[in-house]
Structure 1
């Protein structure tokens, strides 16, 4: 049984980490968050020590034996919390994005070198059965084929979103980082490294662009705007729409997400986790995307962009 600490225990994603730790037969013995209503802990690890004061949590971490620290805090705190975990002598498991900025990644890499500990990023789409099957299909196909892909991900958010840290691109990384980085990682894992990136539009609630990968031309569109969701999806009462078209064929992967965090943890515990160097290309890519100058309706842009702008 491995001993875990948890940072950001009150966040939405933290419950998936708690469940994964429990389902893999391990335990959380210390957790921290600024939010002081933590009833969810009772369903998983009611005996865990809980700290509102992060300094006291760090002291406890350094004075006791821990194997891993899971980082589920807001994006802009990941780098600091990962370094804290490493310097306390634990390996770290962090939600996406690993960090926001390339210089933060350099600091994390330095902390790994100093501590001798590792950082693992949750990249659960790489463990989705449908995505794995697609990758195998591409790998067994023609090596010189360039596939045409449309990526659409619309996950509508209420007004609260823009008042929270998630709505601040300096703290969340903006749309491309906060909701897009998993998909960029998945596509580059399947179709090869990024050779060129063009940004057509970038705003607080949507972004669109084009990626030239080694084996794919990708038109991508990311949005938080409910108005962008197709009518037939709205009629079903759904507020999220995801679609990946490969050569015009829909890749359906709406199902199979329920246990991917548990699979991710088992993957890490088996010595096969996704380390910092795996996450690095997409950290650099999303940093470039949010700092690029959008070119508008020029070149090969996603078909939804014209509707959105008009």
Structure 2
């Protein structure tokens, strides 16, 4: 049984990490968040310590780590995106391996810095790249790996996850903290595309605002038109009123169904990490570099057939 601490216990994604710790038969020893709405802990780890001040949490971990019998093995990080770097570095220096939500960090420069901290502490950072474990994605990757033609796949990726007015009032609506919609809701899709279609060769941004983004990515084995949105008005009529989320990947005109199967992906991610098969800093580098480029790119109108179909209504 491994001993865990968790940073960001009041966040949206924290319960998935707690459930993953529980379902892999491990123990949450301590948790931290500046907010105290963490009642979920009672149903999973009622004996866990909880702190609302990072200094007290850190000192508690240092005390635990003096004794091999109480020392922590992992710190899971579910804090806001802009705090990941600081929390990862702190956890490594506490003597723990780290499991961090996406996006790992915003830039390749910070990835390099974390690599140095890994070397200094002899501890590891693992990123939750859950789509690499989705059965439909693995099936598509297997198909691509076995392809016999050099012609690139034609891909249309659409992800709409509706968010209410609270989103813009939270840290997620602040691009200094979330790094924008393409990074916050899209980074794991860019990782998935790299995972399946290999090296990224071209990256063009066609549209970007606080609620949605669109562009074109060309990989070694695919041409991808992508659209991401948190605006409920973008939901297609087929799901409007039935679901707040729409995920679609169309490959050479054929839709790949992957709307389901997300519930257990964090558990699978933890199982792989604990078995020594987790995804680390270098595995996350491509998607970090992809969103870093998207954030800094000038918006360019689509040319030829590179624009996503949903762009038509935005560019009138």
TM-score range, shorter chain: over 0.9
**2:243 maps to 1:238:** yes
RMSD (Å) for aligned C-alpha atoms:
1.0
Matches within 5 A, 1:1-310: 1-64=1-64, 65-142=71-148, 144-235=150-241, 237-299=242-304, 300-310=306-316
Between the aligned partners of 1:253 and 1:188, the Cα distance in structure 2 is: 17
- 1:222 Cα deviation after fit: 0.6
TM-score (norm. length: structure 2): 0.96
- 1:143 Cα deviation after fit: 5.4
The C-alpha deviation readout for 1:219-258, integer Å capped at 9, x for no partner, is 00111111111112114x2121111000010000111111
Between the aligned partners of 1:223 and 1:39, the Cα distance in structure 2 is: 31
Q: In the alignment, is the contact (CA less than 8 A) between 1:228 and 1:308 conserved in 2?
A: no
Alignment correspondent of 2:68: none
Aligned positions, number: 309
Gaps of 5+ in 1: none
Moved more, 213-222 or 36-45: 36-45
Q: In the alignment, is the contact (CA less than 8 A) between 1:96 and 1:122 conserved in 2?
A: yes
Helix, strand or coil at the partner of 1:274: coil
Between the aligned partners of 2:303 and 2:162, the Cα distance in structure 1 is: 26
Between the aligned partners of 2:75 and 2:32, the Cα distance in structure 1 is: 11
- 1:48 Cα deviation after fit: 0.7
- 1:79 Cα deviation after fit: 0.4
Gaps of 5+ in 2: 65-70
Q: In the alignment, is the contact (CA less than 8 A) between 2:194 and 2:286 conserved in 1?
A: no
Between the aligned partners of 1:232 and 1:271, the Cα distance in structure 2 is: 42
- 1:106 Cα deviation after fit: 2.0
Q: In the alignment, is the contact (CA less than 8 A) between 1:200 and 1:298 conserved in 2?
A: no
TM-score (norm. length: structure 1): 0.98
Between the aligned partners of 1:224 and 1:118, the Cα distance in structure 2 is: 33
Q: In the alignment, is the contact (CA less than 8 A) between 2:249 and 2:256 conserved in 1?
A: yes
